[in-house]
Amino acid sequence: MSLEQLNAIKFEEIIYDNLESCLVIFSRKDCHVCKEVVPLLEELQPNYLGKFGFYYVDVEEDKNLYQRFSLKGVPQILFFKEGEYQAKLVGAVDEDKVIDKIDEVLES
Amino acid sequence: MGDLKYDLIIIGGGPAGLTAAIYGGRAKLRTLVINKGTVGGLVNTTREIVNYPGYAQISGPDLMKDFKKHADSFGVEFSRDEVVSVNFSQEDKIICTKKRKEYMAKAVIIACGSEPRLLNIPGEKRLQGSGVAYCATCDAEFFEGEDVVVVGSGDQAIEEGMYITKFARKVTVIVLHDEGVLDCNKVSAERAFQNEKMEFVWNSTLEEVLGESNVEGVKIKNLKTGRSSELACQGVFFFVGMIPSTHFLKESGIGMDSRGYIPANDLMKTDLEGVYAVGDNRVKYLRQVVSAAGDGATAAVAAERYIEELNAFNTSVLKNDKQVLLLFFNALNNESLEFSTLIEEANQELSEPYKVVKIDTATKKNLAQKYDVKIVPSVVVLDRGQEIKRLDYSMDKEKLKAQLR
Ligand SMILES: Cc1cc2nc3c(=O)[nH]c(=O)nc-3n(C[C@H](O)[C@H](O)[C@H](O)COP(=O)(O)OP(=O)(O)OC[C@H]3O[C@@H](n4cnc5c(N)ncnc54)[C@H](O)[C@@H]3O)c2cc1C
């Protein structure tokens, strides 16, 4: 299942209006490390339906979003809960790291 | 677990692994490629390839899509998974993955390439993604109008450094060598020296990456004077060479050099029977796509022959209705040649109660090992694959016949 892509408006809505617990991967099309991490999130997503959201931001299409979080590279996975930024994972992460981080965010 | 048994398993899906897969699939071997990440390997990081025959210019990912499609057309199977451990001590080789699968293969080709070396200096890990980067294609754009430091002076460092100048205000390259000496090719060096945005710091290395939550600067150590200095910057790209991705093989007993590269002969054979090493992870002179592909082809053909011999042995020896005399000899040893003639004669004179299978220990080390044969000539008597006895060596035909009755 592919990840839902967010633009700036959708981003506001989901993170700050709906206060969803979720992760957002900042990625770009021609980045090979992103191409390794995105499928891994796609595989994990179904295990968290209704519990934890999985979203995607393309940094080329939505520059203002990565600038807002002053990101310096892709891929980066940002975690949110109750409208607040919680943590991030950078670079070539594996499944276990993502699962641990989700648990951490859900339990906090 | 029958569906996890393959003729040939290839670890790694870069150009070396994909070429081996094309040859394996075409030879009708049941072939599986296990690859972590995107199929295509390191080539996916290359924006432009201009030295692969037949393609004057193509992007790395596009070239790899063609390789993959070609392998698909021969029925090769793919699994996106990471091999975490192996057991190569038996004839059936066992491969365990991160997704907790256990595969078996008659032959294995190791094509896992290499990965960027880390300098392991303070701040490098902590600031990854916050200014520390390893891929210009991915991250150069984040440094629009900023100051960037590049560490290293090989082809990759200089070419990626020049790409970064498209975005950054200034790129400072930290070079180990004396002024004017770069490790990269001459064409790139000349271009770099002419690039107004490129600056060089000679005889130096990086000691530390500085910054709280983002990179704010670096500490540079001059190797001649021993003195350290600080340079403000917002980004650091590391291109300090590659290390082979062979760590998961450490326990397997396969031979490696001190840096982790696997030595292989001109058939790509390693020191383990039925195990081959191809591409960037083996000891070799040229690490490029075309040479990786060449390795893959050689190994797959060698593996095919090996599997053929293995199968032939299994049908002619292990499943034979007759009892089998496994005669271990050495073609360079006269005594063992004479002995082998004598055995054949004795068997004929008894109207062939046995099938005689001759094994040259110089080329079939694995069989000598399997039957624990240490001297030639030796004869092992098998009944449906089970050893029932060994003959005592003698050049007296009657004594031999007595043992065969
Ligand atoms: C920046 C750069 C530019 C280059 N430019 C060129 C060029 O212009 N022309 C050229 O010919 N060559 C070029 N090269 C070299 C070329 O990319 C390599 O020689 C080639 O990719 C080697 O192929 P390989 O199949 O041996 O390994 P790789 O391409 O490294 O592939 C290995 C694969 O194995 C996978 N793997 C590793 N460990 C495991 C494991 N445990 N389990 C499962 N899978 C695993 C990896 O994820 C990877 O997909 C360049 C290299 C770099 C870094």
* Nearest to A90, CA basis, from A8, A26, A11: A26
**Are B90 and A49 in contact, with CB atoms under 8 Å apart?**
no
Q: What percent of chain B has pLDDT over 70?
A: 100
pLDDT for res B222: 97
What whole-number distance in Å separates Cα of residue B278 and Cα of residue B291? Answer: 9
First to last CA, chain A: 28
What whole-number distance in Å separates Cα of residue B80 and Cα of residue B404? Answer: 54
Q: Which residues does chain B have within 8 Å of residue A39's beta carbon, measured at their own beta carbons?
A: 80
Reported residue count of chain B is 405
Asked whether the predicted pLDDT for residue B2 surpasses 90, the reply is: no
- Atom number of ligand 1 nearest to Cα B281: 26
pLDDT for res B210: 97
| Contacts of residue B270, Cβ cutoff 8 Å, sequence gap at least 6 | B110, B254, B255, B262, B263, B264, B276, B277
From B143's Cα to the closest Cα of chain A, the distance in A is: 8
Least confident of B22-31, B244-253, B263-272, B316-325: B316-325
Asked whether the predicted pLDDT for residue B206 surpasses 90, the reply is: yes
Q: What mean pLDDT is reported for chain B?
A: 94
pLDDT for res A106: 93
**Strand intervals (E) in B256-313:** 275-277
Q: Outline where B168-271 has alpha helix (H).
A: 186-194
pLDDT for res B67: 98
CA–CA distances in Å: residue B163 to residues B17, B73, B101, B148, B171: 29, 36, 41, 12, 10
* Nearest to B327, CA basis, from B390, B265, B268, B264: B390
For B271-300, b/e burial (b = at least 16 CB within 10 A) is ebbbbbbbbbbbebeeebbebbbbbbbbbb
Asked whether the predicted pLDDT for residue A22 surpasses 70, the reply is: yes
* Nearest to B277, CA basis, from B4, B11, B3, B7: B11
Eight-state DSSP code of residue A62: -
What whole-number distance in Å separates Cα of residue B214 and Cα of residue B210? Answer: 8
Let me know the angle formed at the C-alpha of B22 by B21 and B27, rounded to the nearest 5 degrees.
95
* Nearest to B5, CA basis, from B93, B84, B115: B93
For B312-334, b/e burial (b = at least 16 CB within 10 A) is eeeeebeebeeebbbbbbbeeee
First to last CA, chain B: 43
The mean per-residue pLDDT over the stretch A21-36 comes to 90
3-state SS assignment for residue B291 = helix
* Nearest to B295, CA basis, from B261, B329, B326: B261
**Are A66 and B139 in contact, with CB atoms under 8 Å apart?**
no
Query: Ligand 1 atom 35: the closest Cα is on which residue?
Result: B12
Beta pairing class for B323-329 and B354-360: parallel
pLDDT for res B1: 44
CA–CA distances in Å: residue B7 to residues B104, B272, B300, B303: 8, 17, 11, 9
What whole-number distance in Å separates Cα of residue A82 and Cα of residue B140? Answer: 33
B138, A66: Cβ pair inside 8 Å?
Answer: no
Q: Which residue of B has its CA nearest to A89?
A: B129
Mutate to test the pocket of ligand 1, among B46, B183, B239 (most ligand atoms within 8 A of CB): B46
What whole-number distance in Å separates Cα of residue B120 and Cα of residue B241? Answer: 13
pLDDT for res B280: 97
Give the number of other CB atoms < 10 A from CB of residue B339: 22
Q: How would residue B328 be classed by pLDDT, with cut points 50, 70 and 90? A: very high
From B314's Cα to the closest Cα of chain A, the distance in A is: 41
Least confident of A99-103, B137-141, B366-370: B366-370
Asked whether the predicted pLDDT for residue B249 surpasses 50, the reply is: yes
Structure tokens at A21: 């617990």
Q: Which residues does chain B have within 8 Å of residue A72's beta carbon, measured at their own beta carbons?
A: 129-131, 133, 139, 142-143, 214-215, 234-235
Q: How would residue A61 be classed by pLDDT, with cut points 50, 70 and 90? A: very high
Tell me which residues have their CB closer than 6 angstroms to ligand 1.
Answer: B 11-17, 34-37, 41-43, 45-46, 49, 51-52, 82-83, 111-114, 156, 245, 248, 279-280, 287-290, 292
CA–CA distances in Å: residue B325 to residues B82, B343, B344, B370, B401: 43, 9, 10, 15, 13
Asked whether the predicted pLDDT for residue A27 surpasses 70, the reply is: yes
Asked whether the predicted pLDDT for residue B27 surpasses 60, the reply is: yes
pLDDT for res B202: 98
Across chain B, which distance is largest between two alpha carbons, in Å?
A: 93
Cis omega (within 30 of 0) for bond into B53:
no
pLDDT in tens, A63-81: 888 888 888 889 999 999 9
Structure tokens at B132: 């520390």
pLDDT in tens, B57-81: 999 999 999 999 999 999 999 998 9
DSSP B16-84: HHHHHHHHHHHTT--EEEEESSSTTGGGGG-S-B--BTTBSSB-HHHHHHHHHHHHHHTT-EEEE--EE
What whole-number distance in Å separates Cα of residue B19 and Cα of residue B263? Answer: 20
**Strand intervals (E) in B227-288:** 228-232, 235-238, 242-244, 275-277
Among B36, B44, B139, beta carbon nearest to A73: B139
Beta pairing class for B217-222 and B228-232: antiparallel
Q: Residue B310 carries which side chain, given as an amino acid letter?
A: L
